[in-house]
Structure 1
Amino acid sequence: MQFATIVAAAAEGQHGNVMLETIWFPIVALAAFGIGALVTFSYRDVSNRHAAKAEAYARSQTLVRAGEADAEAGH
């Protein structure tokens, strides 16, 4: 019985406050998710920012296709 008590006391003596030992895990997780949120937030308006460029490209492609159709018809 004395051996079991010594082993239990030795096991308890090596551990401190578990919360203080593991506090870095949620801090690192929070930082990682925060960085991910900032990166995601930075792309929030990319499609609207290039809407005029996309419309100009679409117009130029329709004009090019119309010119190809005229060239094929022999005009």
Structure 2
Amino acid sequence: MAKRSSQSFVKRQKEMARKERAQLKNQKRLERKLNKGEGGEEEILVPLDGPILHETFADEPEAEAEVEETAAKS
């Protein structure tokens, strides 16, 4: 009888540990989700003493047209 109760105890301990790990995993996932919402885009740091590099936004059609016009003028 003692063996059976110890097996039940071990089973309950494993189940509690599994639930705790799942809870921690869900908490970390939620924190990542919230942090992603706050800083959706990464900040681009430009050194103050160095040159500022020109950025192009190839996904925007207006920017592509401007780049093509500039290239045609050159």
How high is the TM-score relative to the length of structure 1? 0.48
Higher Rg? 1
The structure richer in helix per residue is 1
Structure possessing the higher relative contact order (Cα contacts under 8 Å, 6 or more residues apart)? 2
